[in-house]
Amino acid sequence: MSLQTIQNQSVRRAILKLLADFPGQSSVDYDLLRGLEIAEGLKPPFDNFSEQLTWLESNGLVLLEGAVINTVILTQAGLDVAHYKTEFGGVAKKRPEC
């Protein structure tokens, strides 16, 4: 597995976790989500961030709204993956606890 693949899977996991952990929200503004990603220490290039959101949407884990992505909505399937209830190929798995 390439380093790029591992990074993409980790970014996808982080996006799902941030959406799942956002208090009282089923949807999050794109710019806010991008800012949270950076605050968490993940700094994927802008194009890669958008690509990962598109990947998550094409796999039914999020919904994207707006002609230009302006809202990201977590689906139930995405919530299940975020909370480790379901594993999903292409999203980083839960790390073993030390």
Residue 24 has pLDDT above 70, yes or no: no
Q: Rounded to an integer, what distance in angstroms lies between the CA atom of residue 76 and that of residue 82?
A: 10
Mean pLDDT of 37-65: 80
* Rounded Cα–Cα distance for residues 48 and 39 (Å): 17
Mean pLDDT of all residues belonging to the chain: 83
**90 pLDDT above the threshold of 70:** yes
Terminal CA-CA length for the chain:
23
The neighbouring-strand residues paired with 46 are none
The mean pLDDT of 33-56, rounded to a whole number, is: 74
CATH number of 3-82: 1.10.10.10
Distance CA(67)–CA(3), nearest Å, equals 32
